[in-house]
Chains A and B, each alone.
Chain A
């Protein structure tokens, strides 16, 4: 199967005076439509890796190819379009726009794309809200929801533009085990239905166990990479 993401010898060094190398020569291929977990201790470099993957951060050296195209060759507006249409982010800390309601937050990627909110689009947003179990609070402002509800809104938002890749940084970090279960079922379903590629950072071994592939990072190096059948 084709690789949707390829990382080649990624190094990341923070700081100019005191240099800390967070990623050491990381190379990684992610197959289209695969469902992957990234695990590792706190501070091991998981978020850093994911942010570089998502073009939000730049590596100190190394190359990232998305759909076979090196991101270093892309101009700023192309990167923005890539983030809007190909990538969906779910951050470690839920990042909603506090000025907008949950539903409006979910619709935001469509608006950013410059598309009209047609009745179909609206229905899709409502369906996604139902899917993440937020039918009752969808018209609440982001600040008027619990942490878990905000997290689920962020999940719904990441799915809105049917991205090819979803990058999730501990998406269920704030959720109880039942809800965590539901969110994984949901992501699995999307993975199966739309062939969406998932890259999920998690601390939860149980969750990791249910994925197709577990990548473990330790001190900025990939120390374990198991693919299940």
Chain B
């Protein structure tokens, strides 16, 4: 064992250039794998986060869109739901002096605050606290020419009116929302629309966004009839199939990188056996047994694999760090949010290590067959 390791180490340090070249080869393979893998994952996480981060994953409504009582619907929260908003929505007209605009009044209960993160998204003012306070989307506020502290009149389609004070302006980064949404307290919305304790929808965020469709199905079974349950996945099928295609192509790239790394190591090590056949012959004449002789090449594979993988991880992480540092949005946030997925990095390094070992099996096996007499005779 020890002698095989000593010889393997010496063979590698003796031809430094060649050793470095193989290590670099492995390192580039590993770093490409880490870089592409994490980049694609980051890209997808970013996309999914943009799609579902600040929106409901599952929405429950009545089929006829009427308001309903939560208790009568049969709805029960489960652990998989991270946020639940019992929402009260209604369309109305907002007036300020001569200007008016149509808007959607939404309620902000605890769940809605968690889902839409209004507090964070406020560009001015504070959240509404009483029934005659609201916050508006920034585009709506602009259209109406109102600001924090102004009073506006809300008029429903059943001609109910109410004066409310604007306590804040938000920006949810979606123009359609910023143009139309107005957010008040649940009780304020319920009394304005005359809904009593009823709600118009239940909006839910779940722990595992990809389980939303399954959870929606279970939920639908539990509800009384006449309710519709919609999940984000069924509404974003083209996005999901796009992401899936991306994952597959990323996997293909990784597999081909891996294959080329394995072939590279195998061929270089096969050449080393030829280069070192004289030495192997001498060692065999001195009585090294075949197992130890082949261990020399396995150890070379191991050493090359370890250092190649380490170098590759350093290179890959370095690439990602510089990528996140330089590829930024105008507002300074990362263009693609990359998480340094340690298990994935370790996996890539491990795969490289294993492939280096596997690649060295071929030359190791060839040493076994080498007979010392061929070397002795051919001087």
Point out residues on A near B: beta carbons under 8 Å.
Answer: 47, 51, 54, 56-57, 76-77, 80-85, 87, 89, 91-93, 95-100, 108-109, 111-114, 157
Contact = CB atoms under 8 A, between A and B. Distances in A.
B286 interface: yes
B282 interface: yes
A78 to B, nearest CB: 9
B279 interface: yes
A111 B10 contact: no
Contacts of A80: 284, 287-290
B286 A99 contact: no
A89 B284 CA distance: 11
A194 to B, nearest CB: 19
Nearest to A110: B3
B287 A83 contact: yes
Contact of A56 (B14, B279, B376): B376
Contacts, number: 77
A114 B4 CA distance: 10
B77 interface: no
A95 B282 contact: yes
A81 B11 contact: no
B372 interface: yes
Nearest to B293: A80
B372 A56 contact: yes
A97 B283 contact: yes
A82 B379 contact: no
B284 to A, nearest CB: 7
B285 A89 contact: yes
B376 A111 contact: no
Contacts of B7: 97, 99
Nearest to B368: A76
A132 to B, nearest CB: 17
> Is chain B's interface secondary structure helix, strand, loop, or mixed overall?
helix
A76 B289 contact: yes
Given A51-B373, A93-B379, A112-B3, A99 B289 contact: no
14 contacts: A47-B377, A51-B373, A56-B376, A81-B289, A83-B284, A95-B278, A95-B282, A95-B285, A96-B282, A97-B282, A99-B279, A112-B3, A112-B288, A113-B287
Given A91-B376, A92-B379, A95-B282, A77 B2 contact: no
Given A91-B376, A97-B282, A81 B2 contact: no
Interface centre among B288, B290, B371, B376 (most CB of A within 10 A): B376
Contacts of A83: 284-287
Contacts of A157: 286
A111 B6 contact: yes
Interface string B345-379: 00000000000000000000000000111011101
B57 interface: no
Nearest to A48: B377
A136 B297 CA distance: 33
Contact of B10 (A54, A81, A99): A99
In the A-B complex, the 9 residue pairs with the closest CB atoms: A84-B287, A83-B287, A99-B14, A80-B289, A111-B3, A93-B379, A57-B373, A95-B282, A56-B373
Given A51-B376, A56-B376, A99-B279, A114 B287 contact: no
B106 interface: no
B217 to A, nearest CB: 64
B287 A82 contact: yes
B294 to A, nearest CB: 12
A89 B287 CA distance: 10
B287 A85 contact: yes
B373 A81 contact: no
Contacts of A100: 10
A47 B376 CA distance: 10
Interface string B98-124: 000000000000000000000000000
Contact of B376 (A77, A95, A109): A95
Contacts of B373: 51, 56-57
Nearest to A169: B376
A109 B292 CA distance: 13
Contacts of A51: 373, 376-377
Contacts of B287: 80-85, 87, 109, 112-113
